[in-house]
Amino acid sequence: MTQLRSCVGRAQDGSDTGRGPASATRITTFRAKVKTAYPLARGIPAHECSIRSGEHPEGEHVSVSNDPIADLPEAAKLRQTFDPEQLQADVDRLGARTWGTQRSLVDGDGLTPSEQTDWRCLALRAPGGDPDRTDPGGPGLQGFADTPWAAHAPYLTEVLASLPAELRSARLMSLAPGVTVPEHRDTPTGLPYGFVRVHVPIRTNPGAVLTIDGVQHRWQPGTLWYGDFSRPHSVSNTGERARIHLVVDCLVSPELFALFPEAFRRRVPVSEVAFSRPEVPLQAFEPADFRCEVPVPPFALRLDDQAAESAEPDLPARVIDDAGTLVLQITDGPAIALVHVGGGEFRFQGWTEERGVRLDLFGDTPRVDFFTRCGRRRRHVARKAVLAR
């Protein structure tokens, strides 16, 4: 999927760097398996309700954003540092032969073909701890776990353990000399969606440039950076050696948020941040109470879609008890484990606060609420449920 874009780049000092790429390939972090009868929607732009800036009728430039997140800086250096030499030593210990190619999750059979560019990846954490999963993961039956490669990288494992948040994927990503990754967006990511992508640069050079929303960055080894990758971004390496970053997807916690610069945090309404709620495990006898049959609106399986009624037919499904784990099983489709976060509300295993279900089965009219969240904006669609016998 391609969207056209024409922009003027800005260096970190605000200077004009010329015309940016004319087209941008839009990459999404996950698209669930859905029958081909239900084509994937185009998706929503980052912070769909926002208007970034505008021109005053008399010529004065004024902000007209109704989304404070959209007005934040595109990146922030977090208040934590690491030893560059130990980072590099772990990368050297892992060696070159273990690196795979970057992949993403999509509809159909799940994984895209390997990247044709020399953009390589080694997974330290992945769904089910599978070292071959170089994608960032998404809703499914398995949570995230360390891969076997983590045991060969003791300092990198220490770095991951020091991050005060629940971690999703953690990947070493290497961009070869002479390679450019075109402009794209990673959605849905960011504070309003409950997960952020942070970078620890390990090896770089002056020709390795990350551009986020027109601003060029050359992050240095041993630092920790947040980037708003829901905005247009690209990366290029015109240097003579590979650029290697540790890229970590984190659920948002108050402790992680505290690592952001104070000036950044002061501008963020905390009610706009989808802080992750911990799992509240059900008692062993409870899962049986939540078994039911329910039609699933297709938006629930498309991570670019907000909750809304549509003309598309629902997908037949059941909530089943699989050895004590509740699973949303789509007929002839994917299965997603449900993680209880309290009060009969569940988020999808492998995902974030961005979407989930509330199993409201104990009143006069049993129903399931399918919800999505973007900051303060919470939407839901209800479907009647039939209790399992």
Q: What is the pLDDT along the chain (389 residues), one digit of tens a residue?
A: 222 222 333 344 333 333 333 333 322 332 333 332 222 223 333 334 332 333 333 333 333 346 788 899 999 999 999 999 999 999 999 987 678 675 444 433 343 344 456 789 999 999 999 999 999 999 999 999 999 999 999 999 999 999 999 999 999 999 999 999 999 999 899 999 999 999 999 999 999 999 999 999 999 999 999 999 999 999 999 999 999 999 999 999 999 999 999 999 999 999 999 999 999 999 999 999 999 999 999 999 998 899 999 999 999 999 999 999 999 999 999 999 999 999 999 999 999 999 999 999 999 999 999 999 999 999 999 999 999 97
Backbone angles phi, psi at 331, to 5 degrees: -60, 125
Alpha carbon distance, N-terminus to C-terminus of the chain: 44
Q: What is the pLDDT of residue 118?
A: 79
Identify the pLDDT of residue 70.
86
How far apart CA 86 and CA 89 sit, in angstroms, is 5
Q: How many CA atoms lie less than 13 Å away from 376 in the CB half-sphere?
A: 11
The H or E element spanning position 250 is strand 243-251
Helix or strand run (H / E) with residue 237? strand 233-237
Contacts of 318 (CB under 8 A, 6+ apart): 291, 292, 293, 294, 328, 329, 331, 388
Give pLDDT, residue 31: 33
Single pTM value for the model: 0.81
